[in-house]
Amino acid sequence: MKKPASTGTTDPASPAWQMSFPCTRALCEQLQDEADMLFAGWPSPPALVASEPDETRPDDWLLDIIFPHKPDDATIAAVLARLPDGTATPYKLEPVPDADWLTQSQAGLEPITAGRFHVRNDGEDAAPPGFTDFLIPASRAFGTGQHETTRGCLDVLSRLGETGHRFGNIADIGTGTGLLAFAALSLWPRAHVLASDIDPVAVAVSAENAALNGVPLGGGAGEVQLVAAPGVDHDLIVGLAPYDLIVANILAGPLIELAPSLVAQLAGGGTLVIAGLLKTQADRVTAAYRAQGMLLMERADHGDWPTLRLRKRHRFGWRRPHHWRREDFGDAPGYGSW
């Protein structure tokens, strides 16, 4: 195995280690997509951070893999095996300071506008007139709103609101920082919104962000209810089903794996908005949901990242009685928005 290009300081007691190597943008995105499979079974999987060191060379990226401890030779070999040059790839392996590197990597991101929303990560970038403003600081949970997948979900949610769709029971699966749940509540302020994430840290960060943005937390109408759970495997998530709107901004692999259980929580005629997949994965993800009785209603691409809006056929899944008021939620509350 080729030695690292630079090992830097060697401190085996360091709480975290970083493996860095140059690669193409496409390869960075592929490795990020395969991270769950590559590090399956790890109690604390590493995080992958891609960057573009030189904006004049948009295809030359750098990938940093942050391990919670020093990786052994087998782990390094498994990573290198996924690279075109294999073990000949030059890389750096060095301890990193005991610092909040994720917050540092997110700091300084430009604010974005998506649909009717303005998302910023500091207090100085005021929202333009007419936009709903959210402050989502760089934090210990992934997602600040600047990623194209989040932008795509915000755009789709905005269009649903602008075209008169009404939802009363909403779930944001894999909420990250809570942003999409907050956006949904702002569009449908009398809805019950549940936001879940597999990572308890993300749930805690979502609660902090709710306080920053004046979003009410709780289990009633007009509130966001937070829960830590893998996928939809939680009594609360199942007990509140069926939902008339589900948003899931995760990754292609988990989206395909979760297709049966996600669709099972959706009311007949309900809407599903999914993102986190690449263009090359869109057909495979769409096929997985079509097999569960979903119809593709819209596909919106932001760069290499599509956002899909699907509707559930009425004949799939169960129905349960709904006690909605027609004047509150439109003609077909709980049963979709077509």
Q: What is the residue whose two structure tokens read 């301890």?
A: 95
Angle at 235 between CA 321 and CA 296, to 5 degrees: 65
Q: What is the pLDDT of residues 65-111, one digit of tens each?
A: 888 788 889 888 888 888 888 888 899 998 865 544 344 444 444 67
Is 150 labelled as part of a ligand binding site? yes
pLDDT confidence band for 139 (50 / 70 / 90): low
Residue 294: beta bridge partners? Answer: 312
Residues 6+ apart with CB under 8 A from 239: none
Is 283 labelled as part of a ligand binding site? no
Is 100 labelled as part of a ligand binding site? no
What single string gives the DSSP state of each residue in 325-336? -HHHH-SSTTS-
DSSP state of 217: B
Domains of the chain, earliest start first: 16-99 (3.30.70.120), 106-329 (3.40.50.150)
Mean pLDDT across the stretch 120-142? 73
Residue 305: beta bridge partners? Answer: 302
Q: Is the per-residue pLDDT at 216 higher than 50?
A: yes
73-99 CB burial, b ≥16 within 10 A, e <16: eebbeebbeebeeeeebebebbbbeee
pLDDT confidence band for 64 (50 / 70 / 90): confident
Q: Is the per-residue pLDDT at 293 higher than 80?
A: yes
Is 174 labelled as part of a ligand binding site? yes
- Is the separation of the CB atoms in 14 and 7 below 8 Å? no
